[in-house]
Structure 1
Amino acid sequence: MLRLESVNYEVRDKIAILTLDEPNKLNALTTGIRAGILEGLKRADNDDQVRVSIITGAGGKAFCAGADIGNFDFDPDKARAFFIGAMEVLSAPERALKPVISAVNGIAYGGGFELAIASDFVFAAESARFAVPEIKLGLLPGFAIIRLKDIVGRAKAKEMSMLGAPVSATEACRLGIVSRVVPDDRLLSDALAFAERIAAQPRLAVQMAKSFYNRGLGGDEMRHAIDGFPFLLTHADAREGIGAFREKREPQFGER
């Protein structure tokens, strides 16, 4: 096993397993986890032995709780730089040459939800929960704002983004967010078994299938999301929402 910043990386036969490992922060997208995801998926793509990657979270309570907003900076230039880096990480499973499975244990909120939907397949433990709660910070999801509607439809994407309420693993499966719901104690073993089935298929055909189905993703829509995020941070609602989160209180958004 290798330690890539805050991500544990191991290869079992033809499967690379990336375990986000900052459970004390609910595996939030810290600098170490972001760097580890990028390095791990790059390593998997460059390893001829690896056919499929699995991303999961350590600790049982969380797959990934989203952005590490404790260090958020309201300066628009710094916010834009942060968001560009975050989008690179969140879209990494989508851009990887080889199939990526997210094995979601516990919560997948915000950036964790987005990391999952950027994957080719999502396996969810029965206890898993999914949400894009950025609205409670006076913000909107970045990657999900351009992908979620294609998965769940416009109306449901608006509902999830405007309310920020979590959905269960069963509901996420019904909506098409999740591929399979499995008992908590079988999450990794079932994801591995599925990965092994893919790994047994012709390597080039599998990679081309991913490439063809993902054609057209990215481009202008990604740039629009990046440009819009710093604007939201200049609004008083974002300062109140993030401040309330840091102070562990309910936000008091002013009437507009």
Structure 2
Amino acid sequence: MRIGSVEFEKRDRLAVLTLDEPTKLNAISPALCQGLSEGLALVDGDPDIRVGVITGRGDKAFCAGADIGSFPESPEQARDFIARVLPVLEAPERCRKPLIAAVNGIAFGGGFEIAIACDFIVASDQAKFGVPEIQLGLLPGFALLRLHQIVGRPRAKELSMLGEPISAAQAVELGIALRAVPHANLMEDALAFAEKLAAKPRMALQMAKSFYNRGLGGDDMRYAVDAFPFLFQTDDVKEGVDAFRSKRRPQFK
């Protein structure tokens, strides 16, 4: 079943959600947001589904993040954009069922954020992770609230201030990914792990997720929605976005 730009497949006790815009590197679009939100609502509401797996179509990308071609150009548009996208990025946290991100390629920006909002990341050995927003004169929204809780403050600052990608092996070392597996074995490994989880007591699994995720959201999310648009008033953002679209190195002032 296709929902927006997400392929939804129910496999007995499991659900597989495939981000399906490979020609755009599965970049975040309104159709992808719709598919992910509605697909996770189906996972949450179906008593037969115990565990969900999120992956990307193709060998290149899990999700490349925001589509820069349709990026907001004013603080007002930016606030609308982040208010619309942040609930999608945090949707895996709100889902009561355990979720595994099977990261098959690049997971940058919003794609990285979707992955870390899941309970577990199983990565292809070809995967790359990163929050490159600084290259546009911006900062990540959701990752800014979560990354330091996973890797610690100094490494979170390094990742978000430099914006440089890391490999699957580095992601495992930092505790971002659970493990890295050969690319050809990614879905087999992720589904086998999902089946192991699905065999555990359903209520205990859901309570464990609820316990570990307690305290997430709230004021932090509201702060991100309010603070993010101010960056769009700077000349650096205009330069960063224009440089990206022109495929040149930005000259920040």
Length-normalised TM-score, structure 1 = 0.97
User: Does the alignment pair 1:15 with 2:14?
Assistant: yes
Does the 8 Å CA contact 1:74/1:234 hold for their aligned counterparts?
no
**Which residue does 1:190 correspond to in 2?**
189
**Which residue does 2:202 correspond to in 1?**
203
Q: Deviations over 1:221-253 (max 9, x none)?
A: 111111111000111000110111112211111
**Which residue does 2:83 correspond to in 1?**
84
Cα distance in structure 2, aligned partners of 1:175 and 1:53: 24
Listed as ranges, the matches of 1:13-162 within 5 Å are: 13-162=12-161
Select between 76-85 and 32-41 the one with higher mean Cα deviation. 76-85
Does the 8 Å CA contact 1:15/1:54 hold for their aligned counterparts?
yes
Cα distance, 1:143 vs. partner? Answer: 0.4
Cα distance in structure 2, aligned partners of 1:197 and 1:58: 24
Cα distance, 1:73 vs. partner? Answer: 2.0
Cα distance in structure 1, aligned partners of 2:45 and 2:102: 22
Cα distance in structure 2, aligned partners of 1:125 and 1:144: 21
Q: Deviations over 1:204-223 (max 9, x none)?
A: 11001100110000111111
Cα distance, 1:28 vs. partner? Answer: 0.4
User: Is the partner of 1:101 in helix, strand or coil?
Assistant: strand
Letter of the structure 1 residue corresponding to residue 144 of structure 2: I
Cα distance in structure 2, aligned partners of 1:102 and 1:25: 19
**Which residue does 1:214 correspond to in 2?**
213
Cα distance in structure 1, aligned partners of 2:176 and 2:58: 23
Cα distance, 1:75 vs. partner? Answer: 2.3
Cα distance, 1:74 vs. partner? Answer: 1.9
Letter of the structure 2 residue corresponding to residue 121 of structure 1: F
User: Is the partner of 1:113 in helix, strand or coil?
Assistant: helix
Cα distance in structure 2, aligned partners of 1:109 and 1:20: 14
Does the 8 Å CA contact 1:65/1:107 hold for their aligned counterparts?
yes
Length-normalised TM-score, structure 2 = 0.99
Cα distance in structure 2, aligned partners of 1:133 and 1:229: 15
Cα distance in structure 1, aligned partners of 2:77 and 2:163: 25
Letter of the structure 1 residue corresponding to residue 213 of structure 2: N
Letter of the structure 1 residue corresponding to residue 188 of structure 2: S
User: Is the partner of 1:27 in helix, strand or coil?
Assistant: coil
Cα distance in structure 1, aligned partners of 2:41 and 2:54: 13
User: Is the partner of 2:118 in helix, strand or coil?
Assistant: coil
Q: Deviations over 1:21-51 (max 9, x none)?
A: 1011000001111110001000111111110
Cα distance in structure 2, aligned partners of 1:89 and 1:124: 21
Cα distance, 1:120 vs. partner? Answer: 0.1
Letter of the structure 2 residue corresponding to residue 57 of structure 1: G
Cα distance, 1:68 vs. partner? Answer: 1.2
Does the 8 Å CA contact 1:103/1:124 hold for their aligned counterparts?
yes
Cα distance in structure 2, aligned partners of 1:48 and 1:173: 32
Cα distance in structure 2, aligned partners of 1:7 and 1:23: 11
Cα distance in structure 2, aligned partners of 1:129 and 1:219: 30
Letter of the structure 2 residue corresponding to residue 36 of structure 1: G
Letter of the structure 2 residue corresponding to residue 168 of structure 1: S
User: Does the alignment pair 1:226 with 2:225?
Assistant: yes
Letter of the structure 1 residue corresponding to residue 43 of structure 2: A
Cα distance in structure 2, aligned partners of 1:214 and 1:73: 31
Aligned identity (percent) is: 60
User: Is the partner of 2:180 in helix, strand or coil?
Assistant: strand
**Which residue does 1:241 correspond to in 2?**
240
Cα distance in structure 2, aligned partners of 1:108 and 1:68: 13
Cα distance in structure 1, aligned partners of 2:73 and 2:144: 21
Cα distance, 1:77 vs. partner? Answer: 1.9
Cα distance, 1:20 vs. partner? Answer: 0.4
